């Protein structure tokens, strides 16, 4: 296991109701979506928030490794 696999960073949207965790190789490790967001029944909102959370997490990976250089 190299350094990239050990790094875990997250992206959160809507006050943490959607959270995505990625590793340093930009692999999604976990997606958490609060039940109350599902209960609202807005599929498009969930999709958008998930996409945003993934992009935030991936941006954090880029920033993390750019700082190391």
Domains, the chain, in order of start with CATH, read 3-68 (3.30.1310.10)
pLDDT band at 68 (very low <50, low <70, confident <90, very high): low
Q: 32, 6, 33, 20: which is closest to 59 by C-alpha?
A: 20
Cα separation, 48 vs 43, whole angstroms: 9
pLDDT score, position 53? 98
Contacts of 50 (CB under 8 A, 6+ apart): 13, 18, 20, 31, 33
Cα separation, 19 vs 58, whole angstroms: 12
pLDDT beyond 80 at 51: yes
Contact indicator for 16, 33 with CB cutoff of 8 Å: no
Contact indicator for 56, 40 with CB cutoff of 8 Å: no
């Amino acid at each position: 296991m190299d350094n990239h696999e050990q790094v875990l960073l997250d992206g959160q949207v809507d006050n943490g109701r959607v959270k995505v965790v990625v590793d340093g190789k930009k692999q999604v490790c976990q997606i958490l979506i609060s039940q109350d967001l599902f209960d609202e029944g807005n599929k498009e909102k969930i999709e958008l928030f998930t996409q945003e959370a993934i992009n935030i997490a991936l941006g954090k990976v880029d920033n993390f490794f750019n700082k190391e250089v």
